[in-house]
Chain A
Amino acid sequence: MIGYIIKRMLYIIPVCLGVTAVCFALMYLAPGDPAQALLPPDATPEDAAYLLRLYGFDQPVWVQYGRWVLRAASGDLGVSLQSQRPVFREVMSALGNTAVLSAGAVLLAFVLAFILGTVAAYNIGSRIDQASTTLSITGVSVPNYWLGIVLVIVFAVELGWLPAAGMGSAGSDSFSLTDWAQLRYAILPIITMSVLPLGIIMRSVRASVAEALGQESIQLLRAKGLPPYAILTHAVKNAFPQILAVMGLQFGFLVGGSILVETIFNWPGTGFLLGKAILTRDVPLLQGTILVLSISFVIINLVVDVLQSIFDPRVRRT
């Protein structure tokens, strides 16, 4: 197992190199340049050249990328061109904020999807199944930025039950999950972000549990007269590794943040940071964010794989 984990950790290197190289190339293919966002519109070409030289953007792209890789390998992600703040600090603070939303969203989605998907699978073709399937399709289809705006209007503006935006009166520095006054700021964005994974996980739970219920081993348990809840427990146990994989993947996606949801709720997370970095061509910030997110994604998948092998020894054998 340890060898497997080390092997998977080593995969992080080519994944990160590949992702950051593609991002680097895309930034240079797009019109505009990093100096543009720093200069007034009537700055002369000499001013632009001065800034490009100052930050090393006058070098060939492969040289710039090589230098960035060497610095990143020593833990230095550089300084944001726009804010002049260290990229590592910017990304880690944003990642922590997004983790609050993504963990909450996946947990909420998983609990609901697990219950509804299992009930639907056990009652295939029934009204409960139809309602669950409708909910699942709705979750996958509803644009989350639209849902976010609707939730804000209903629960923050009209009813006044929850705050509309931000991370509390003192911001993310003092954000605490154990303090209701702070936690309430996370509720609407968590609900908004949970809708898509809810739909996906629910579909997966329904399909996996239904498939497990159709297996011969389950038929045998029925023939032996086991009560329904015991049969369901066996079926769910069989389906769990597959569900876990889908859940892990969803958590990985959500850690990348949602530009739209985080913008609507003014939540200073990774999606918000990425959007800003792209629009202002802040290359160090974009590269640093992408690198940290790539590592997070690979680690999350690794954790899921390890958990899967714990729940299902067959995975380890393959």
Chain B
Amino acid sequence: MKNNEITWGLKRSASLLAAGLLLALSANAAKAESVLRVGMTVSDIPDWSGQPDQGYEGARFVGWSLYDSLINWDLSRSDIEARMAPGLATEWAVDPQNDKRWIFKLRQGVKFHDSCEWNAKSALWNIERLTVQTVPQFNPVQYARQRSRTGNLDRAEVVDDYTLAIYSKTPDALFPYNFYNWFMISPCAGEAAKYDYSEFAKHPVGTGPYKFDKVNPRERLELVKNAEYWDKKRIPRHDRLVLLPMPESTTRTAALLSGQADFIEAPAPDMIDRLKESGAQIYTNEYPHVWVYAFNTRKGPFSNVKVRQAANYAINREEMVEMLNGLAVAAGSTYSEKSPFFGGAKPYDYQPEKAKALLREANCSPCEIRIAMSNSGSGMMQPLSMNELVKEQLEQVGFKVTLSVVDWNSIMSISQKGWEANPDYDAVNGANPIIDPVSAIFRRYTTASNAPQGLNWGWYNNAKVDELAKQAQQTFDVGKQTEIISEMHRLTTEDPPLLFVVRDLNPRALGPNVKGFVQAQSWFQDLTPITVE
């Protein structure tokens, strides 16, 4: 009896000890997990099942975390504009025998998070997922999102296990720019989900530096470190990434200040000083962005180049920067002087007398214009106050401005349909991502891109620019191609299709416990080097 009691007592003690040890271990494990919580500006979690929605913010946080593209970005430096870098393709070049055939050499030894092999077959599966309407993996919504990158894509074919050929419809030396945001998902997972993307979204699988863990729609997406990521330099230095949609800037700022977030996008400008006081780190950097107005060059005052130039000389950009608390830099042209495509352009500066003289020469006094603007939107910064200031500055030189405020969806509709469908407007306010020459110049300033076929809202037409565009597309030597694009930039600054105002400095605030972030000059950012103490 006594022995039994002793045995029972020993067993009990042992189990208690074991339980205690387990608890202690699990507590330590939980304590050891480092978590990076990011407050995004979007109002919902960007689609995490392949091609994200919600613009470049979706790609920035969801796309580049879960997935890779054939071509990635080198986001490791803050001192130069980010460049394209090998991703799931290690090299790419046009076929010397066929200028419509591009050969992509694929990275070997890469596996998706579900151990599915990355090879030419899976690359082809992904290309067709967004281009071929008859294949089972075709995703119509994501196809639509990717349309601006697939217009000139003819077809793709497997050459061997690790080589893929992609054909363009017409010779296009700028073709690779279409592949940097083309996220590769696991064909095995897609097939297991029976090509039902809502099913795939329950456990999305890519090759990216983070793996999916769980999601609470509209509230949070939780990803965990992919310790086997193929790019060893980019294995996350924290264990978990939590993405939180927080559309209101005051809320994001309060979340950081109260310790509910570690990293926030675009803090409230009037709370920057308070953030600094609390020890938060404010990061700013230039990136390929320009806040502009697209001129209606076919009807109304802006059909005269002198009026377009006058508007550009009328803007006191320094005053705008001051109003924005220093969170922007002046922009007098599409590209800044730091860009390889800047060339010999002469950016506009503030010359009110010259603006007045140009308006007199154009015989436009008072020069009545009507501008469409939105009250919010992607890359729009502080549109209400900024438009008010632009109106005031334009009126000081002789313009008479009427601002028409509409919501973001409406401004997108106006922009897409072009001036012809909206002849009452002389200009439309917008923010241009000048991430590559295709989106910065070719889709905005060429006749072939006249809206609604492209982004040239005001049907800007310059025969020299059109000719250079053709030359650039057929020039496969990158150096010569850069020279041609630089010349296009010079011409489109001299004869401006847009009113250039400022470039956003893309402020971000990080808690005092967050280290290692390098703010790249890009719409995308690398979160993997961040440590959370």
Chain A residues within CB distance 8 Å of chain B: 30-33, 35-45, 47-48, 50-51, 54, 82-85, 90, 93-94, 149, 152-153, 156-157, 160, 163-167, 170-173, 263-266, 268, 272-273, 275-276, 279-281
Contact = CB atoms under 8 A, between A and B. Distances in A.
Given A83-B217, A164-B255, A164-B258, A39 B197 contact: no
Nearest to B133: A50
A94 B246 CA distance: 16
B410 A84 contact: no
Contacts of B414: 31
A211 B15 CA distance: 71
Contact of A164 (B151, B218, B254, B410): B254
B148 A279 contact: no
Among B145, B217, B454, max chain A CB count under 10 A is at: B217
B19 to A, nearest CB: 24
A165 B216 contact: no
A51 B144 contact: yes
- The list of the 9 closest CB pairs from A to B, nearest first, reads A32-B409, A164-B254, A171-B216, A31-B410, A32-B413, A40-B148, A171-B219, A156-B258, A164-B258
A123 to B, nearest CB: 40
A50 B145 CA distance: 12
A165 B141 contact: no
A152 B455 CA distance: 42
B244 to A, nearest CB: 7
A268 B449 CA distance: 40
A279 B246 contact: no
B251 A84 contact: no
B408 interface: yes
Interface residues of B, number: 50
Contact of A166 (B44, B244, B257): B244
Contact of A36 (B246, B259, B413, B443): B413
B413 A31 contact: yes
Contacts, number: 142
Contact of B148 (A38, A42, A156, A264): A42
Contacts of A84: 47, 141, 197-198, 201
Interface of B: 43-44, 47, 53, 140-141, 144-148, 151, 197-198, 201, 216-220, 244-248, 250-251, 254-255, 257-260, 274, 406-410, 412-416, 443, 449, 452-455
B409 A165 contact: no
B452 A171 contact: no
7 contacts: A32-B410, A41-B412, A83-B218, A157-B258, A166-B244, A268-B219, A276-B43
A37 B409 contact: yes
B409 A172 contact: no
B397 to A, nearest CB: 30
Contacts of A275: 43
B198 A164 contact: no
Given A156-B258, A157-B257, A264-B248, A85 B53 contact: no
B421 to A, nearest CB: 10
Given A36-B413, A44-B452, A266 B246 contact: yes
Contacts of B146: 40
B216 A173 contact: yes
A149 B249 CA distance: 11
A72 B403 CA distance: 41
